[in-house]
Amino acid sequence: MTDAFQALRARFRVRAGEELAQLEVMTATSSDSMELRRLVHNIAGAAGTFGFPELSHAAMAIDDDYTAGTVPRPEAFQRLATALSLAASTDEA
Amino acid sequence: MSQLKILHVDDEPDIREVAALALAIDPEIVVQSAASGLEALDVLGGGAWTPDVILLDVMMPELDGPGTLQRLRALPAHSQTPVIFMTARAQAPEQQRFIDLGAMAVIIKPFDPMILASQVRDILAGAGS
C-alpha cells in the first residue's frame, strides 16, 4: 500500500495548493458560503488521512464554528491558509 | 475471515482511492466505489451487485448521505442493508441523528487507512453479537 499511498499523498499536496487558491478567492467575498463550507469540511475530513494533522485541525476549527452557527474569525482562515501552504510545499523527495 | 462486499460512496476521488487501498489490506474485502449518492443508487438499483455494507459520505453535492440513505431504504432489496456514515468531526448529537436516520454507525474522518478495514469488520461484528 505504501507506494500507492505516497502517490495519493503527493496528489493531495498538489490539491492543497489548488485549495489554497480557492480559499483565497472564496474568503475574499464571504466567510460563509456553501462552497466554502464544503471546501473546509472536505479538507477537515481528508487531510488527516493523508498525514497532515495540522491542516486537518485548522479546517476542523472552522468546521466546528459553522456547526455551532458562528462565523469563523479571519485568524482561523489564516491558519488554514498557512497549513494548506505548508502541505503544498512539503518536500518529500 | 469471510468475504465482505463494500460499496464506498464519496465525492472526493482521493478519498475513494485511499479507502479502496485501505480496505484492500483485508484480502477478503471486495470494494466498489461510487462518486455520488445518485451513482450509488444506480449501482444498487441495478441489482447486479449487492454489497454487505455501504460506507456513505455525509456531505456530498446534489444528494447528500442522509438523502441517499432515505432513497436507499425505499429500494426493497436494500431496506436492511447496513450503512455506515463517514463524516468529518461529527459531534455526539449529530452522530445520534445519523443513527436515528438508520445508520449502523459513524466513522469519523479523517480515518486511519491502516485500521479502516478492521473498523468496518468490528462494527459489523458488534451489530451481530
Which ipTM value was assigned to this complex?
0.80
Does residue B120 register a pLDDT over 80?
yes
Pairing of strands B105-109, B53-57: unpaired
Fold held by B4-128: Rossmann fold (3.40.50)
Distances in Å between the Cα of B43 and the Cα atoms of B72, B75, B85 are: 11, 12, 18
Taking only residues 65 to 84 of chain B, the set having a beta carbon closer than 8 angstroms to any beta carbon of chain A reads none
* B42 close contact with A: CB closer than 8 A: no
- pLDDT tens track for B97-119: 999 999 999 999 999 999 999 99
Rg of chain A in Å (alpha carbons): 13
Asked whether the beta carbons of residue B14 and residue A67 sit closer than 8 angstroms, the reply is no
Write out the residues of chain A at the interface with chain B, using a CB-CB cutoff of 8 A. 1, 4-5, 8, 11-12, 15, 38, 41-42, 44-50, 56, 59-60, 63-64, 67
Residues in chain B within 8 Å Cβ distance of A42: 12, 59, 88
C-alpha cell at B32: 466498489
Domain boundaries along the sequence of chain B: 4-128
- Main-chain phi, psi angles of B86, to 5 degrees: -125, 125
- pLDDT tens track for B26-80: 999 999 999 999 999 999 988 788 999 999 999 998 899 999 999 999 999 999 9
Which residue type sits at B102?
G
What sign does the CA torsion over B97, B99, B102, B106 have? positive
Asked whether the beta carbons of residue A49 and residue B94 sit closer than 8 angstroms, the reply is no
Across the beta sheet with B4-9, the strand order is B29-34, B4-9, B53-57, B83-88, B105-109
Asked whether the beta carbons of residue B14 and residue A46 sit closer than 8 angstroms, the reply is yes
Question: Using an 8 Å Cβ cutoff, are B9 and B34 in contact?
Answer: yes
Percentage above 70 pLDDT, chain B: 98
**For every one of its 93 residues, what pLDDT tens digit does chain A have, with 9 covering 90 and above?**
688 889 999 999 999 999 999 999 999 998 888 899 999 999 999 999 999 999 999 999 999 999 889 999 999 999 999 999 999 998 775
Which residue from A5, A12, A63 is facing B89, i.e. has the nearest CB? A63
Residue B106 pairs in a beta bridge with B85
Specify the pLDDT at position A18.
97
Q: What is the architecture of the domain spanning A2-89?
A: Up-down Bundle (1.20)
Domain boundaries along the sequence of chain A: 2-89
Pairing of strands B53-57, B4-9: parallel
Q: Nearest CA of chain B to the CA of A28: how many Å?
A: 23
Helix, strand or coil, per DSSP, at residue B119: helix
Specify the pLDDT at position B128.
64
Does residue B20 register a pLDDT over 80?
yes
d(Cα B43, Cα B75) in Å, to the nearest integer?
12
**pTM for this prediction:** 0.89
